[in-house]
């Protein structure tokens, strides 16, 4: 009986203590709201309908324009006494690249001296013939023959002078190898003291103007039907990973390589800053316009998380939806979406990741 009495007192005490404690009401969490500061630094864009553009990625190499190259061959045989240009140097038209001592040049010098002497003798003979004709001591025929001999001597001198001009012949039986165009030395096959033959098949120098270059890209056989001339192209290189070079497909070489089963296309790119060099590897994105329309949003609006793509749809600062979207294609700064958003809706393109984290923590 006493035990039951004690238990009753304990129960009453516990109930009294619970009654004395104030009732705690759970605080209701305020809804997310975009602050004025955050709103000022957030960018938005409208979803619109647009023609789908996709990118075909191919690989290739930078090459010099063949029509803007010049190869320099030895015009005479001899010994290379001096080399003034090295691989990669920029040279100007007419600049001396190398000097060759040649016995052939010595023979040309002799021919030139002989031609000069022949002209001098022919001029004297003509003067004598003219004086004698004026004194009635010779016939007009003799005077005309002397004039023809002078013309022949002058023609021989003009011919040998032209040889000197073409060969850039210097003094002491030397031949100056000069640059036919301005550009960069992209190949050099000559060294000092090298023995040269005039019938040598290999060029001494190759010079290229690279203020405009080609990209020779390989297109797989399965993608040939998607390629056409005039297509826009974005080119990236390992040397400049953050820089995009723009050009167009200006020629399709309709021959397949037997080994790679690929077809080459040529893309011309301006290169005023001389950043692109021949033989650089290049990654090319060819712009392909599909025959269909989809909803287009800036690519910066897409958030990838939990193996899905999302966008933040903005209605007002208190109503921002997290929407899963199905991205069909992306090219440059634009992404085409198959579902998840409607045309005219506004998406967040800057600071969207911060807002996504705040709403989905």
pLDDT digits 0-9 by tens, 36-58: 888 888 999 999 998 898 889 99
Residue 318 CA to residue 85 CA, distance in Å, equals: 70
Q: Is residue 21 part of a domain?
A: no
State the alpha helices, DSSP H only, in the chain. 2-20, 36-40, 103-134, 140-167, 352-360
Asked whether residue 198 falls in the same domain as residue 231, the answer is no
Residue 5 has a pLDDT of: 40
Q: Which residues constitute the domain of residue 278?
A: 57-65+209-290
Q: Is residue 335 part of a domain?
A: yes
Percent above pLDDT 70 for the chain: 89
Number of domains observed in the structure of the chain = 3
Residue 30 has a pLDDT of: 57
Asked whether residue 129 falls in the same domain as residue 200, the answer is yes
Asked whether residue 158 falls in the same domain as residue 84, the answer is yes
Other Cβ atoms closer than 10 A to 262: 19
Other Cβ atoms closer than 10 A to 210: 22
Q: Is residue 337 part of a domain?
A: yes
Residue 286 CA to residue 233 CA, distance in Å, equals: 5
Q: Is residue 199 part of a domain?
A: yes
30 SS3 class = coil
For residues 246 and 236, the answer to whether their CB atoms sit within 8 Å is no
Task: For the chain, give the longest Cα–Cα distance.
Answer: 180
- Which DSSP category does 340 fall into? S
Residue 8 has a pLDDT of: 44
Asked whether residue 313 falls in the same domain as residue 343, the answer is yes
Residue 35 CA to residue 93 CA, distance in Å, equals: 65
Task: Write out residues in the chain with pLDDT < 50, as ranges.
Answer: 1-28
Beta bridge partners of 214: 63, 268
Residue 1 has a pLDDT of: 46
Asked whether residue 94 falls in the same domain as residue 153, the answer is yes
Residue 157 CA to residue 123 CA, distance in Å, equals: 13
Structure tokens at 345: 């809706």
SS3 content of the chain, % helix, strand, coil (to 5): 30, 40, 30
Write out pLDDT tens, residues 227-282.
Answer: 999 999 999 999 999 999 999 999 999 999 888 889 999 999 999 999 999 999 99
Q: Is residue 17 part of a domain?
A: no
Q: How many helices (H) and strands (E) does the chain have?
A: 5, 20
């Amino acid at each position: 009986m006493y035990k039951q009495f004690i238990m009753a007192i304990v129960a009453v005490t516990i109930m009294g203590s619970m009654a004395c404690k104030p009732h705690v009401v759970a605080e209701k969490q305020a809804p997310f709201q975009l602050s004025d500061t955050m709103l000022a630094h957030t960018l938005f864009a409208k979803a619109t309908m647009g023609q789908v553009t996709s990118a075909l990625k191919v690989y290739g190499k930078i090459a010099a324009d063949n029509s803007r190259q010049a190869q320099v061959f030895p015009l005479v045989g001899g010994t290379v006494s001096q080399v003034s240009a090295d691989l990669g140097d920029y040279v100007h038209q007419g600049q001396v690249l190398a000097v060759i001592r040649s016995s052939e040049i010595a023979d040309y010098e002799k021919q030139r001296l002989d031609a000069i002497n022949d002209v001098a003798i022919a001029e004297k003979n003509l003067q004598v013939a003219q004086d004698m004709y004026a004194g009635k001591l010779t016939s007009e025929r003799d005077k005309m023959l002397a004039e023809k001999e002078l013309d022949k001597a002058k023609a021989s001198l003009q011919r040998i002078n032209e040889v000197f001009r073409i060969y850039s012949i210097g003094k002491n039986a030397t031949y100056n190898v000069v640059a036919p165009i301005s550009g960069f030395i992209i190949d050099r096959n000559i060294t000092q003291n090298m023995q040269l033959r005039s019938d040598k098949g290999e060029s001494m120098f190759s010079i290229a103007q690279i203020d405009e270059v080609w990209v020779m890209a390989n297109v797989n056989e399965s993608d040939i039907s998607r390629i056409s001339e005039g297509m826009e192209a974005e080119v990236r290189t390992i040397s400049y990973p953050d820089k995009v070079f723009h050009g167009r497909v200006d020629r399709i070489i309709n021959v397949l390589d037997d080994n790679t089963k690929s077809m080459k296309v040529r893309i011309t790119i301006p290169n005023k800053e001389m950043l692109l060099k021949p033989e650089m590897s290049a990654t090319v994105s060819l712009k392909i316009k599909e025959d269909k329309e989809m909803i287009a949003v800036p690519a910066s609006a897409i958030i990838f998380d939990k193996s899905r793509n999302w966008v933040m749809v903005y209605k007002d600062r208190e109503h921002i939806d997290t929407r899963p979207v199905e991205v069909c294609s992306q090219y440059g700064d634009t992404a085409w979406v198959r579902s998840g958003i409607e045309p005219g809706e506004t998406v967040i393109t800057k600071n969207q990741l911060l807002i996504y984290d705040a709403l989905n923590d």
